[in-house]
Structure 1
Amino acid sequence: MTASQPAYFRQLSATTFVATESTGGAWNPDEQHIAPAIGLLAHLLEQDHVGRGGELRMASLACDILGVLPIGEFTVEVSVIRPGRTIELVEAVLTAGGRVGVRARAWMLQTADTTGLSGTAFPDMPPLDSTPEYPFGTTWNGECVNTVMARRDCLGTGRARSWIRTDTQLIEGVAVSNQARLIGMLDFANGLVPRVNPLEIGFPNIDLNVSFFRAPAGDWLGLDTTVSFGPDSVGLTESVVHDENGPVGTLSQTLTIRA
């Protein structure tokens, strides 16, 4: 671990935060990697819901990445789009330098005991201990990837199964849920399975969409990932998301491919 800061963010007020050097991006180390920012938005959406007395669970999160985020101060505003006792839609908007950088919407759903119906046909991940270590920080630029420990089983070009974790706090001195912390690592999926050399071809994602049929738990995030490039500069990274107990949901990222 070579993170220069103990956390990705410091909180200055209820709506104001500052990104530390640990968020340094993979495409440009002077800009934030989007992964921690998405985790922060998930945390703030959860906290707003709990603060209003809600007991629903975040079942999906849809993020539009509207621009690059400078490393520095920014604000987040949370609002309720569709209130409800069993279904609720909430939104968090991150603004930096006077412009909106990320807009995230989450569906919060009522929970009940459906243990007798639970199950999935998604295949299991390889065991964590038998998955080879992967030098994630040597593949990309930026400080953020250096905060991540990775194991990867490469199955071919654009296809791999990976385990990742981080010991870097999301917000300095603030406890966050397992789900928000793991959401803060989801955006690394695209970088774990590059189809081409990222120093020669760019393929940043312009969105991130995740749905959970089970709330994730534990320290390690598993990603069974396939990256596809189309013939007209558009790509797609799709992952089945796992925790150490098995599959928990699916993730998609739309890519813009740029020489």
Structure 2
Amino acid sequence: MTVSPTAYFRQLSGTRFEATEATAGAWNPAEQHIAPVIGLLAHLIEQDHAQRGGALRLGSLSCDILGVLPLGEFDVEVSVIRPGRTIELVEAVLTSNGRTGVRARAWLLQTSDTTALAGTSFPDMPQLDSTPEYPFGTTWNGECVNTIEARRDFLGTGRARSWIRTDTALIEGTEVSEQARLIGMLDFANGLVPRVDPLEIGFPNIDLNVSFFRAPSGDWLGLDSTVSFGPDAVGLTESVVHDASGPVGTLSQTLTIRA
């Protein structure tokens, strides 16, 4: 029996990483699922900021997925695009086999106490205990989906409210923030609400954009998701993102629909 890795990545040097079999993708098990990659890039952006003595919080993250990523080794470089004491723009670029695979940009923002103003009109998710268990791995291929424990309240075609978590570490032997770990599950939103059978029609996302009005925490990630397909092979997955305490932000993924 093959034992599954306990982490998605191993860090080989300051900028070089290895993707384990736990990242094996849903569309092609020989390629990485992009979800853990995005969590890794968020972690490296946070780490770079902390090492420079910064105290800003990640407010938004925009990722362009420029191509498929094979399992194995790759490099990540982090750079500051727009430095600042209250607002900063940081970029992380992943290269694999000499080709840029993912480019992520994060806005880091100053924080202060606005408790008296806090509030949102996004509706709450159903309670975790009352949400039915969902066999996520039966719909998709690849080991990465099997690392996810899922619960799903199915509301209709392309519409569901889901809770997910994982006990697979993001990086072997490395502590990461709760926010980076939860960001590493965001890309599963599209796969949790398929409008069609993914064995017949492909609908991979070419980007991922998330904005947080509150930093997420805890083990469980909540996704109140809607998937829409247009008439000319372009689609959109939109989700309100939650943690156990309530809504924290919004997520969007642009889809390319292919037979």
TM-score, length-scaled by structure 2: 0.99
Give 1:3 deviation, angstroms.
7.0
Unaligned runs of 5+ in 1: none
Give 1:19 deviation, angstroms.
0.2
The DSSP-based 3-state class of the residue aligned with 1:32 is coil
1:187 counterpart residue number: 187
User: Distance in 2 between the 1:39 and 1:14 partners?
Assistant: 17
1:38 counterpart residue number: 38
User: Distance in 1 between the 2:179 and 2:198 partners?
Assistant: 29
In the alignment, structure 1 residue 254 sits paired with structure 2 residue 259? no
Give 1:194 deviation, angstroms.
0.1
1:89 counterpart residue number: 89
User: Distance in 2 between the 1:242 and 1:255 partners?
Assistant: 22
In the alignment, structure 1 residue 143 sits paired with structure 2 residue 143? yes
The one-letter amino acid of 2:101's match is G
User: Distance in 2 between the 1:234 and 1:139 partners?
Assistant: 22
The one-letter amino acid of 1:90's match is V
Aligned residues: 258
User: Distance in 2 between the 1:194 and 1:222 partners?
Assistant: 17
User: Distance in 1 between the 2:214 and 2:69 partners?
Assistant: 31
The one-letter amino acid of 1:85's match is R
2:226 counterpart residue number: 226
1:122 counterpart residue number: 122
* 1:62-73 aligned within 5 A: 62-73=62-73
User: Distance in 2 between the 1:31 and 1:201 partners?
Assistant: 18
1:163 counterpart residue number: 163
The DSSP-based 3-state class of the residue aligned with 1:161 is strand
* Identity score, percent: 84
The one-letter amino acid of 2:40's match is L
Give 1:129 deviation, angstroms.
0.4
The DSSP-based 3-state class of the residue aligned with 1:120 is coil
The one-letter amino acid of 1:125's match is M
2:203 counterpart residue number: 203
The one-letter amino acid of 1:99's match is R
Give 1:85 deviation, angstroms.
0.1
User: Distance in 2 between the 1:239 and 1:173 partners?
Assistant: 31
The answer on whether the counterparts of 1:3 and 1:22 sit within 8 Å (CA) in structure 2 is: no
The one-letter amino acid of 1:203's match is F
The answer on whether the counterparts of 1:9 and 1:19 sit within 8 Å (CA) in structure 2 is: yes
Residues 71, 152 of structure 1: alpha-carbon distance in 2 compared, 3 angstrom cutoff: same
1:131 counterpart residue number: 131
Unaligned runs of 5+ in 2: none
1:45-64, Cα deviation, whole Å (9 max, x unpaired): 00000000000000000000
1:51 counterpart residue number: 51
User: Distance in 2 between the 1:142 and 1:3 partners?
Assistant: 15
The answer on whether the counterparts of 1:21 and 1:71 sit within 8 Å (CA) in structure 2 is: yes
User: Distance in 2 between the 1:133 and 1:29 partners?
Assistant: 24
User: Distance in 2 between the 1:221 and 1:5 partners?
Assistant: 22
User: Distance in 1 between the 2:227 and 2:187 partners?
Assistant: 13
User: Distance in 1 between the 2:233 and 2:160 partners?
Assistant: 22
User: Distance in 1 between the 2:105 and 2:67 partners?
Assistant: 17
The DSSP-based 3-state class of the residue aligned with 2:133 is coil
The answer on whether the counterparts of 1:3 and 1:147 sit within 8 Å (CA) in structure 2 is: no
TM-score, length-scaled by structure 1: 0.99
1:77 counterpart residue number: 77
The answer on whether the counterparts of 1:65 and 1:206 sit within 8 Å (CA) in structure 2 is: yes
User: Distance in 2 between the 1:54 and 1:69 partners?
Assistant: 31
The DSSP-based 3-state class of the residue aligned with 1:8 is strand
The one-letter amino acid of 2:11's match is Q
